[in-house]
Structure 1
């Protein structure tokens, strides 16, 4: 009886796990979305770029401008540096604005650093800093300041790389 009891508990636990997994299984439409980008022909897909993002010649009406250097932001706790965050940013802008962005890059970098420092000071780089809500609010703040600095030709700011290194 002593040897049978652990096996019985394992079987009950396995059955409960399988039953819970089947009960909490997502809808088939959600499962058919593949994060690798493979297309399921049985599911309707939304185009990635809106139709207005392509000009009359079939050329994209936007370009990606890579900022030259990374951004390094200290993460402070009670006045002491506890981590360093390094980010690489790209700007999605109207085609032909690359030179304007590079001409105003020092002012743009200053504005971006202020947003990044504010984000760090409010705890944005602590804990699960790559949470989608946290990243979306950071991207929105960066986009807003880029549009104030460059103009409405800036559509979005993309966070290409983000790394956090704790300091011992």
Structure 2
């Protein structure tokens, strides 16, 4: 009889210790202040603003234009800011063109110019210059069209 009770007592005792340990080591539902603030913060509502004209960027090799890159861009902006951004569009286009010229001069439009890493680098540079001109109302730069014509 004692031989049967000992294994049952050990199983019950092991089960009780396991359940107790699981309960005491369970992660708490407490959140840090940053997590609470992030959860409470309202999402920023955005809209898309298509820049009026395409960008035409010459690709120069050995002092000669070898191709032309044509791009259409849109901006993801905070709602209600489109009019103020359109008012500054000439300055924004000038800064964006300079970024595109620099990208072309660095060889960014040579070879497989639509490669993911290439476009990520270009988008990031365009976003930085857009935020420098417009401010944080510009959330992202989208390349909606890109093509290259070789001559």
TM-score > 0.5, shorter chain as reference: yes
Runs of 4+ deviating beyond 3 Å: 51-55
- Corresponding residue for residue 13 of structure 1: none
Say if 2:89 is the partner of 1:105: yes
Superposition pairs of residues 6-155 of structure 1, within 5 angstroms: 54=43, 61-155=45-139
Distance in 2 of aligned mates of 1:103 and 1:82: 34
**Unpaired stretches in structure 2, ≥5 consecutive residues:** 1-39
Render the CA deviation track for 1:35-70: whole Å, top value 9, x for unaligned: xxxxxxxxxxxxxxxx96746xxxxx0010000000
Give the conservation status (yes or no) of the 8 Å contact 1:85–1:163.
yes
SS of structure 2 residue aligned to 1:93: strand
- Provide the alpha-carbon RMSD of the alignment: 1.5
Distance in 2 of aligned mates of 1:62 and 1:156: 10
Distance in 1 of aligned mates of 2:144 and 2:41: 24
Distance in 2 of aligned mates of 1:131 and 1:53: 35
- Corresponding residue for residue 22 of structure 1: none
- Corresponding residue for residue 166 of structure 1: 150
- Cα pair distance change 1:117/1:104, threshold 3 Å: same
- Larger-Rg structure: 2
Length-normalised TM-score, structure 1: 0.64
**Unpaired stretches in structure 1, ≥5 consecutive residues:** 1-50, 56-60
- Cα pair distance change 1:165/1:53, threshold 3 Å: farther
Question: Greater helix percent: which structure?
Answer: 2
Aligned length: 112
- Cα pair distance change 1:143/1:79, threshold 3 Å: same
